[in-house]
Amino acid sequence: MTKFQASVLELVSKVPKGKVTTYKELARALGRSRAWRAVANALAKNPSPVKIPCHRVIRSDGKVGGYKLGKTRKAELLMMEGIVIKKWKVNLQKFFIKLSKGTS
């Protein structure tokens, strides 16, 4: 595992139950705003996908997105944490948590 991948997993562990963040936001918080695909790849290699809550990371458009254990399981986990999903989308205004500093 690379240092970047470890940093991604450490940061995603800070996303609380009932909240989501995005691949893009994780990249921003790590100082690499264009590295959202690298973030997604790091999460895909998560050795413990329920303990390290990568299911709390969704797409910037609010869509649930992929998950190591399947999209349906990801949606189930999010709903068990109180997140409302309609047509495979999450209301980012209600459930999004910002991890980066600054306004951009």
Domain CATH for 29 = 1.10.10.10
pLDDT in tens, 31-89: 999 999 999 999 999 998 878 999 999 999 999 999 988 999 999 999 999 999 999 99
Structural domain includes residue 104: no
- Helix and strand element counts for the chain (H, E): 5, 4
Phi, psi of 74 (to 5 degrees): -60, -45
The pLDDT value recorded for residue 104 is 47
Domain interval for residue 34:
3-95
The answer to whether position 61 is within a domain reads yes
Structural domain includes residue 90: yes
pLDDT digits (tens, 9 = 90+) for 7-40: 999 999 999 999 999 999 999 999 999 999 999 9
Closest CA to 64 of 78, 82, 53: 78
Residue 16 included in any domain = yes
Active site (catalytic) residues: 54
Number of domains in the chain: 1
Residue 58 lies in a domain: yes
